[in-house]
Amino acid sequence: MQKRLKRRVAKTEQLNSVPNLNRLSWDDIRVFLACAKEPSFRQAAEKVNISASTVVRRIEQLEEALGVRLFNRLPEGAELTPEARGILKSATEMEKSLFELVHQRTQTDDIANGRISVSITEGLGTYWLMPQLVDFQRQFPNLIFNVQCAMRNADVLRLEADIAIQFERPTNPELIVSKLGRLHFYPFASQKYLHTYGEPKNIKDVLQHRFVQQISSNLDEMIWAKKLGLDSIDAIPGVRTNSSAAALYAIERGAGIGVLPTYALALKAPAVPVDIGIHHSFDIWMTYHPSIKKVPRKVMILDWIKSIFDTKKYPWFRDSFIHPNELKDLVPEEASVCINDNYFTIEPFS
């Protein structure tokens, strides 16, 4: 005799109409807020750094606690229900109040002691901020710096960092945003590569070469394809990597022609500019919560960050493009930065 199969009833079809406040969890609400901003549970899981199955479980727990369906599960993702839209407003206000409480809690300060977290794009963090930070930290040895070098933008409103430095301009009106400068990119190659494969003279020549490119979620990988007149950069063989450090190493070792910041020569990178008539730039934005202005230690760090992007001392951060070979004539012989009457010297361009 055949056994009749019983359809499993989804948890969201068995919801209790009476909310159970004792089962409400802030962790579940936090996941709900992430899911409300993303087109799918999978992408929300990446945002909050947990597994997709955990996201589903937490959403089901919250639906059961509230007694209402929050999302319609669709083949292409998840969609907020009408009931959830009203809950979203309240959850957002709850989150805002929580973060305001935490910001207020962190106002006590000792300028020479404590912790500061800075999120910054990988290349700028690794090759520009960190070398300067080593010198600066000698002035304040008891400060603890947490430098997060990644292409993902940190959410300073949600305390992922005190200060974020990124290419995308933040739009949240609750944050303070300032432009630090502009980062210009130019094609470079090693002398070894050019000696082996020859130096391209124009865009058409580059199509016969190898290309090194950094690929990440915050970088439009089509930028350089368009500048080379291609539908995809994959039309050129070479190396693709999500790491700026790996891209620099590949260019230095002769893996191909790749784009680097124009200040690469200031960092003594063993590469030379390749003049084929193309370059690109990104604005550099710094963002932070207004409460930072009440913390002298963090204000000091803000001033220091601004100083290492000073376009008078470091012209490669100016809005106008300057060819890498021309930069050395525009930099002062000695570039010094003063922070609260403490001086430290940054090695000039040579």
| Average pLDDT estimate for 137-163 | 85
- Give pLDDT, residue 347: 47
- Give pLDDT, residue 105: 54
Q: Which of 7-21, 118-132, 193-207 has the lowest mean pLDDT?
A: 7-21
| Average pLDDT estimate for 243-268 | 91
- With cut-offs at 50, 70 and 90, classify the pLDDT of residue 188: very high
One of 1.10.606.20, 3.40.50.1220, 3.30.750.24, 1.10.10.10 is the CATH number of 11-104, namely: 1.10.10.10
* Residue 59 pLDDT exceeds 50: yes
The CATH H-level superfamily of 184-281 is Periplasmic binding protein-like II (3.40.190.10)
* CA dihedral of 24, 30, 36, 40, whole degrees rounded to 10: -110
- Give pLDDT, residue 12: 47
Backbone angles phi, psi at 190, to 5 degrees: -80, 155
Whole-number Å distance between alpha carbons of 85 and 192: 59
| Average pLDDT estimate for 162-178 | 91
- The helix or strand, by DSSP H or E, that contains position 165, with its residue range, turns out to be strand 163-166
* Residue 343 pLDDT exceeds 50: no
Higher pLDDT, 310 or 138: 310
Residue type, 60: E
- Give pLDDT, residue 109: 56
Average pLDDT, the chain: 82
- Give pLDDT, residue 170: 87
- Give pLDDT, residue 348: 44
* CA dihedral of 74, 78, 81, 83, whole degrees rounded to 10: 140
* Residue 17 pLDDT exceeds 60: no
- Give pLDDT, residue 332: 62
| Average pLDDT estimate for 153-165 | 85
Q: Is the fold of 114-182+283-317 the same as that of 184-281? A: yes
* Residue 209 pLDDT exceeds 90: yes
Closest CA relative to residue 181, chosen from 313, 278, 54:
313
- Give pLDDT, residue 142: 85
DSSP 8-state assignment for residue 121:
-
**3-state helix, strand and coil shares in percent for the chain, rounded to the nearest 5:** 40, 20, 35
Q: CB-based contacts of 27: which residues, under 8 Å, 6+ apart?
A: 58
Domain positions in the chain: 11-104, 114-182+283-317, 184-281
| Domain 114-182+283-317: CATH architecture, name and number where available | 3-Layer(aba) Sandwich (3.40)
Whole-number Å distance between alpha carbons of 125 and 133: 10
- Give pLDDT, residue 196: 94
* Residue 106 pLDDT exceeds 60: no
The predicted model scores a pTM of 0.69
